[in-house]
């Protein structure tokens, strides 16, 4: 890591507002690690959804992005929330109906999907194999990612990072941010956004240097997508970069490694039809080979 990146990272963390519930998150994380990071069991950190950039400390407005969280959650089994993939957008209203004043029942055709989602979700949580750590802002995301990565370091090559969250590229440093709601009476708004430091580099070199790392590259211009993915793969020594285009991201992705470019297309599965299932299968195989090669 060069020293200018080092100081950008330092000032990002220095200026970030302290994570609320830090101790609670650490406790859950330690519990999860103790239960799961042992023997030959593999553990994956899936990041999903998007991060926001607050514009005021007492935040009224923020910059957001398009990410829905589908990719990460569907890859974990689930969607916007794992295990709710096959449910409609508003499950409470659409999946349930009152039969009389006291009783509620699951409506058809959602009955099977709801039952399966509830069963699988309970089993994952009860078995201690699923830990969800929600985040909203870029500050929360990067602080939690650091905590998770450092906690998984001892699991070496059996830990995988699957970084599907759409992470803000620019942010307003906390100490240069207005405290109160920005007033609209003062004319056009000038605001300086600083570049978010490239955390993939720190993840690779410091937080979890021997983990299996998959990052995602999103572009809207197909002409530059593969070059950018290739560059990211080499620059951050990713085991693979999953390249996707905004409009076709649920139809096809290209997995870029140091020696291959593999197209993965949407495939029919029991839960419907998606691109995550074949993608995850491919990456799980690659992870197995990686563990074998690391002699772990």
Chain residues in the site for ligand 9Z3 (CB under 6 A): 49, 67-71, 163-164, 166-167, 215-218, 244, 249
Instruction: Kindly tell me which of 33 and 279 has the beta carbon lying closer to ligand 9Z3.
Output: 279
Instruction: Kindly tell me which of 216 and 290 has the beta carbon lying closer to ligand 9Z3.
Output: 216
Instruction: Kindly tell me which of 71 and 204 has the beta carbon lying closer to ligand 9Z3.
Output: 71
Instruction: Kindly tell me which of 167 and 280 has the beta carbon lying closer to ligand 9Z3.
Output: 167
Give yes or no for a contact between 258 and 236, defined as CB atoms under 8 angstroms apart.
Answer: no
CB of 185 to ligand 9Z3, least distance (A): 35
CB of 207 to ligand 9Z3, least distance (A): 15
Give yes or no for a contact between 124 and 83, defined as CB atoms under 8 angstroms apart.
Answer: yes
Instruction: Kindly tell me which of 111 and 248 has the beta carbon lying closer to ligand 9Z3.
Output: 248
Q: Edge-to-edge strand order for the sheet containing 212-219?
A: 43-47, 159-163, 212-219, 240-245, 252-256, 261-265
Residue 200, C-beta contacts closer than 8 angstroms, at least 6 positions apart: 163, 213, 215, 232, 236, 238
Nearest one of 106, 129, 111, 291 to 211, comparing CA atoms: 291
Pairing of strands 212-219, 240-245: parallel
CB of 24 to ligand 9Z3, least distance (A): 26
CB of 277 to ligand 9Z3, least distance (A): 14
CB of 99 to ligand 9Z3, least distance (A): 36
Q: Which two tokens stand for residue 132?
A: 């969800």
Phi and psi for 193 in degrees, rounded to 5?
A: -105, 135
Give yes or no for a contact between 75 and 260, defined as CB atoms under 8 angstroms apart.
Answer: no
């Amino acid at each position: 890591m060069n020293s200018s990146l080092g100081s950008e990272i330092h000032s990002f963390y220095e200026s970030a507002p302290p994570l609320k519930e830090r101790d609670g998150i650490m406790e859950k994380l330690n519990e999860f690690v103790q239960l799961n990071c042992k023997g030959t069991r593999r553990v994956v950190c899936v990041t999903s959804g998007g991060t926001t950039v607050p514009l005021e400390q007492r935040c009224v407005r923020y910059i957001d992005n398009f990410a829905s969280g589908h990719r990460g959650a569907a890859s974990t089994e689930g969607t916007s929330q794992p295990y709710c993939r096959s449910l409609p957008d508003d499950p409470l209203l659409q999946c349930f109906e009152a039969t009389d004043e006291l009783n509620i029942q699951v409506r058809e055709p959602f009955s099977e999907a709801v039952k399966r989602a509830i069963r699988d979700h309970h089993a994952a949580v009860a078995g201690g194999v699923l830990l969800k750590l929600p985040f909203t802002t870029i500050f929360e995301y990067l602080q939690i990612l650091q905590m998770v990565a450092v906690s998984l370091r001892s699991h070496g090559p059996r830990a995988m990072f699957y970084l599907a969250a759409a992470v803000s590229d620019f942010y307003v440093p906390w100490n240069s941010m207005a405290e109160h709601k920005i007033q609209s009476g003062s004319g056009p708004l000038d605001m300086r956004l600083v570049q978010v430091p490239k955390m993939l580099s720190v993840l690779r070199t410091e937080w979890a240097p021997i983990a299996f790392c998959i990052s995602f590259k999103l572009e809207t211009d197909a002409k530059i997508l593969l070059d950018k993915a290739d560059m990211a793969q080499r620059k951050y020594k990713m085991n693979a970069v999953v390249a996707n285009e905004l409009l076709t991201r649920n139809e096809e992705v290209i997995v870029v490694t140091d020696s291959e470019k593999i197209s993965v297309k949407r495939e029919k599965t029991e839960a419907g039809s998606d691109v995550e299932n074949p993608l995850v299968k491919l990456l799980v195989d690659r992870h197995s080979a990686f563990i074998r090669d690391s002699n772990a």
